């Protein structure tokens, strides 16, 4: 019967295709096991082309198991593994002198008694309000508007331009680099100097209409620990994928301004506990206001991954 021959031929084709993948995985497994001292090893942190990444927990003849970022176990055929590793952080990594403990924040607002209706009142308020109020109307304000294409640089510039109709001073205040001063108090003095310099050339004192006064609000932040602790750069990459944007914001913005450090928290730890000053400087140089928080997360991860792979960066 002719159909019997076709059936047998079809089954043979299916069997050959199946065995091709089996032998492909077995050969890749043999190659992987034979050369694992040079390519893969239990405990290596790998990243594949399709985005899967994690620590290798078992290398078998047909499959290799990795522990993903959410602690799930992923089985990967060795044929796929041999062709799709784009990053293998197999080199020994230096352990930090002190681990990095991640914290997160809960930001709240509190309205103060300070209110300004003109530039002289604004200067007087700026001299008296706490740092947390200056912070709220500059750093916190920018964070809230970070997803806009044309985000306002700080609330003082916006208020002067819209409530006082002073385009010239509005542009001067907008040109102040919020990140340049080492402290909130330093930023406060830059804003005051710009306003006082502008007042010298003013013939009249513009007054905001009723209801358009600038009411000062201060930021109140509650800080709490997270379960995440990094002991080296590999663990740092893994945890950066997991933490919330509030945690990232705290370590990049608030902690630096709160105690007037040279660098943000991550850069300080990388420099002091790991001795990686170049990487610390590269992360510190990232302009946080040129990114959304998710973009900033990815930029930091890319820098750390480049260092783990021994690539030049900067």
Mean of the per-residue pLDDT values of the chain: 78
Contacts with 282 (C-beta within 8 Å, 6 or more apart), sequence order? 303, 313, 314
* pLDDT for the residue 149: 43
- pTM comes to 0.62
pLDDT in tens, 279-301: 999 998 887 777 888 889 999 99
Q: Which residues contact residue 306 at a Cβ distance below 8 angstroms, ignoring those fewer than 6 apart?
A: 312, 313
- Count Cβ neighbours within 10 Å for each residue of 210-247 and write b for 16 or more, e otherwise: eeebbebbbbebeeeebebebbbbbbbbbbbeebeebb
For the record, the structure tokens of 82 come out as: 């041999």
Query: Distance (Å, rounded) from C-alpha 272 to C-alpha 263?
Result: 11
Give per-residue pLDDT as tens, 135-189: 888 877 556 555 444 455 688 999 999 999 999 999 999 888 877 777 788 889 9
- List, in sequence order, the alpha helices (H) in 55-183: 78-84, 119-128, 131-135, 141-144, 155-162, 167-174
- Give the separation between CA 86 and CA 35, rounded to whole angstroms: 17
pLDDT of residue 147: 45
C-alpha distances in angstroms, 16 versus 62, 241, 272? Answer: 17, 41, 58
DSSP 272-314: HTT--HHHHHHHHHS-GGGS-HHHHHHHHHHHHHHHHTT----
Domains of the chain, by residue range, sit at 25-89, 109-220, 223-308
Write the pLDDT tens digit of every residue in 98-145.
Answer: 999 999 988 788 999 999 999 999 999 999 999 889 988 887 755 655
197 vs 106: which has the higher pLDDT: 197
- CATH number for the region 25-89 comes to 2.30.30.60
Instruction: Please answer whether residues 189 and 262 qualify as being in contact, where contact means their C-beta atoms are separated by less than 8 angstroms.
Output: no
């Amino acid at each position: 019967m002719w159909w019997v021959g076709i059936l047998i031929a079809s089954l043979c084709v299916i069997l050959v295709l199946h065995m091709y993948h089996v032998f492909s995985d077995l050969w890749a497994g043999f190659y992987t096991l034979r050369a694992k001292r040079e390519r893969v090893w239990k405990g290596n942190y790998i990243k594949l082309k399709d985005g899967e990444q994690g620590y290798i927990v078992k290398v078998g003849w047909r499959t290799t198991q990795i522990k993903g970022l959410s602690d799930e176990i992923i089985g990967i055929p060795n044929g796929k593994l041999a062709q799709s590793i784009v990053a293998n952080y197999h080199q020994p990594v230096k352990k930090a002198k002190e681990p990095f403990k991640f914290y997160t924040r809960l930001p709240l607002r509190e309205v103060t008694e300070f209110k300004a209706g003109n530039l002289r009142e604004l200067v007087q308020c700026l001299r008296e309000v706490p740092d947390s109020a200056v912070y709220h109307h500059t750093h916190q304000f920018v964070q809230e508007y970070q997803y806009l294409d044309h985000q306002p640089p700080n609330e003082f510039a916006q208020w002067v331009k819209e409530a006082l109709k002073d385009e010239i001073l509005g542009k001067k205040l907008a040109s102040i680099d919020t990140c340049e001063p080492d402290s909130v108090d330093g930023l406060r003095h830059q804003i005051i100097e710009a306003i006082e310099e502008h007042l010298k050339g003013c013939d009249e004192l513009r007054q905001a209409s009723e209801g358009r006064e600038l009411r000062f609000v201060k930021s109140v932040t509650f800080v709490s620990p997270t379960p995440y602790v990094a002991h080296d750069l590999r663990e740092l990459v893994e945890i950066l994928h997991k933490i919330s944007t509030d945690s990232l914001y705290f370590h990049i913005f608030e902690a630096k301004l709160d105690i007037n450090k040279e660098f943000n928290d991550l850069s300080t730890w990388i420099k002091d506990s790991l001795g990686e000053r170049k990487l610390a400087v590269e992360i510190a140089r990232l302009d946080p206001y040129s990114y959304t928080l998710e973009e900033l997360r990815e930029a930091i991860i890319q820098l750390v991954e480049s260092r783990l792979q021994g690539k030049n960066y900067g």
